[in-house]
Structure 1
Amino acid sequence: MDNSGQNYWQCGRFQIDLAQPKIMGIVNLTPDSFSDGGSYSSSLTLALKHAEQLLKDGADILDIGGESSRPGSDFVSPQDEWKRIEPVLRELVTWNVPLTVDTRRTWVMHQLLEQQLADGINDIQALEDAGAVDLLAQQQNIGVCLMHMQGQPENMQHNPEYQDVVTEVGQYLQQRVSVCEQAGIERLRLTIDPGFGFGKSLQHNIALMQHFADWHAAAGCPVLIGVSRKTMIGLLTDETEPRQRVVGSVVAAVAAVARGAAIIRVHDVRETRQGLQVWAALGGSI
């Protein structure tokens, strides 16, 4: 369970109970996604069918993304990002399920909030885009996930370097939480993400998992973890095909929850739910 002392996440229309770990299902609306190759971006029908299946499989939250953040990804304009996600969100917002949007653009955030199409913002740049903090501070209940990333998606995996990755990630997240709070964004609206695979080598990722409590304590907010199908899983298992990394991803998700993660962002919801259920039934502390 979340060990930050915060027992729920204020996320738009919802107060999400964190006494038990929550599963965030990924809805990629990008044609160049590393994990599914744009399988659900070609039509509104396919995207909604996928979202429905994630909920049937046990997702507690849906995370919708219109810009790929895979290493080396191409630039997408905020306007094109918006065109990808807006039709899907207009339908999903009627489903009475928590909706977060994976975006780093203030312009996109403004459209979302003005049209009331998102409960939370999941930002790989931790609201560093100009005006993002002030925009979210004007909202009463919108949830925010602040993620650490070294560099930008197009270059972040070009030899990332740290003196002490655990300390540096913790300090960065602590600083971003402070900036948000000083602007008027309540802590109950905040979650943090160390950004596995975002400007980090395999050894950096392993260190962050092994020393989870150290960087987590620095910021003191509930933790969202995304390791699903990522390169780190492939390197640990010698599996080059992202879709074949399900078992490794589930093991990593359970390991993160065992260390204190409150929310797990995944592609494979059913398998992750089963893994967490078995872990808990066998006496695992969640």
Structure 2
Amino acid sequence: MKHVWKIAGKTIEINGFLIMGILNISPDSFYSGSSYPDMKEAIKRALEMVNEGADIIDIGGQSTRPASKSISEEEEIRRVIPIIKELLKNTKIPISCDTCKAIVAEKALEAGASIINDISAFSMDTKLLEVVKNADCGYILMHMKGIPENMQINPFYEDVVSEVYQFLKEKLNWIKKEGINTERVIVDPGLGFGKRFEDNLALLKNMEKFTELARPVLLGTSRKSFIGKMLNNISPEYRLEGSITSAVIGYIKGIKVFRVHDVKETKRALEVANSILFS
């Protein structure tokens, strides 16, 4: 199947895979190795990821780790917008803004971002729909049960794969009815967002199901806690190998976009997998 993603007036054909490098501007990320609240350090790290082969840089000013509390719109704008502007002076690759706030998304797009990565699927700020609708940006539609502050408090599913699949399917249909071209949208099952350990494993084992939505699927497992749990509860600093393994499994199952902290290592692993699978 040919995979196309339309962002900012451009059509990206995803023949193999895309790597989205994570740049956290928040000081309280779950993984300290990805937190760059200082602007110079943030730009330096972003350009390192570009040189390592990132196709997209995803910038977030609000931590979305479990139990994190929301910050003000003004603070999120203060953190994110200068980074977007400065980064685009040095690279032409697409910039994604990780936000669920309409005004932050609007300012980010004005600053030159071309993708909105919304963990809330338009549920936390109803004005965000209009911002995305009136732009020509790409949009990442993610499943999350609850909000970051409470999402890991006893989440429950009868059948996590079918429930997340149905949620994304219905949201895609709704987005289409609202007048947004779904070729601008990719989907993210939201591993780690309102999911138990066993839910994350079930989703990863059944990732091919989400390719039935006929949109590119994003996988975000990088250094997350369920990876650590499989490795005797090691801390995020030691979860690189497990994260790469999950990415390769995702690729085998049809995933096309990978949101990662470790661009170089993940890209090399996926290039090897690609050569073996499609030689």
Which of 191, 195, 199 is equivalent to 1:200?
Answer: 195
Cross-structure match for 2:226: 232
Which of 102, 106, 110 is equivalent to 2:106?
Answer: 110
Residues 31 and 38 in structure 1, CA contact (< 8 A), matched pair in contact too: no
Query: Could you tell me how far apart the structure 2 residues matched to 1:133 and 1:180 are?
Result: 9
Cross-structure match for 1:263: 257
Residues 23 and 34 in structure 2, CA contact (< 8 A), matched pair in contact too: no
Residues 124 and 147 in structure 1, CA contact (< 8 A), matched pair in contact too: yes
Cross-structure match for 1:7: 3
Cross-structure match for 1:210: 205
What are the residue-to-residue correspondences of 1:165-180 with 2, within 5 Å? 165-180=160-175
Give the root-mean-square deviation of aligned CA atoms.
1.5
Q: Which runs of 4+ in 1 moved over 3 A?
A: none
Query: Could you tell me how far apart the structure 2 residues matched to 1:232 and 1:78 are?
Result: 30
Which of 14, 17, 20 is equivalent to 2:13?
Answer: 17
Cross-structure match for 1:133: 129
Paired residues in the alignment total 277
Query: Could you tell me how far apart the structure 2 residues matched to 1:29 and 1:246 are?
Result: 21
Query: Scaled by the length of structure 2, what TM-score is found?
Result: 0.95
SS in 2 for 1:284: helix
Structure-2 change in CA distance of 1:215 and 1:39 (3 Å): closer
Cross-structure match for 2:277: 284
Which of 268, 272, 278 is equivalent to 1:274?
Answer: 268
Cα displacement (A) at 1:17 = 2.3
Residues 100 and 121 in structure 1, CA contact (< 8 A), matched pair in contact too: yes
Structure-2 change in CA distance of 1:102 and 1:39 (3 Å): closer
Q: Deviations over 1:21-69 (max 9, x none)?
A: 010000100000001266411x211000000110111111100000000
Structure-2 change in CA distance of 1:179 and 1:6 (3 Å): farther
Cα displacement (A) at 1:239 = 3.9
Residues 66 and 148 in structure 2, CA contact (< 8 A), matched pair in contact too: yes
Query: Could you tell me how far apart the structure 2 residues matched to 1:187 and 1:39 are?
Result: 32
Q: Could you say which structure has the greater relative contact order, defined with CA pairs below 8 angstroms and 6 or more residues apart?
A: 1
Cα displacement (A) at 1:214 = 2.4
Query: Could you tell me how far apart the structure 2 residues matched to 1:280 and 1:7 are?
Result: 16
SS in 2 for 1:101: strand
Unaligned segments of structure 1, at least 5 residues: none
Q: Deviations over 1:102-122 (max 9, x none)?
A: 001112112223x24210000
Matched, 1:96 2:92: yes
Percent pairwise identity = 38
SS in 1 for 2:277: coil
Query: Could you tell me how far apart the structure 2 residues matched to 1:116 and 1:85 are?
Result: 10
Structure-2 change in CA distance of 1:69 and 1:149 (3 Å): same
In the alignment, residue 259 of structure 1 is paired with which amino acid? K
Query: Could you tell me how far apart the structure 2 residues matched to 1:263 and 1:88 are?
Result: 23
Structure-2 change in CA distance of 1:223 and 1:215 (3 Å): closer
Query: Could you tell me how far apart the structure 1 residues matched to 2:60 and 2:9 are?
Result: 20
Query: Could you tell me how far apart the structure 2 residues matched to 1:234 and 1:127 are?
Result: 30
Which of 214, 217, 226 is equivalent to 1:223?
Answer: 217
In the alignment, residue 280 of structure 1 is paired with which amino acid? N
In the alignment, residue 76 of structure 2 is paired with which amino acid? E
Structure-2 change in CA distance of 1:214 and 1:38 (3 Å): closer
Cross-structure match for 2:59: 64
What are the residue-to-residue correspondences of 1:148-187 with 2, within 5 Å? 148-187=143-182
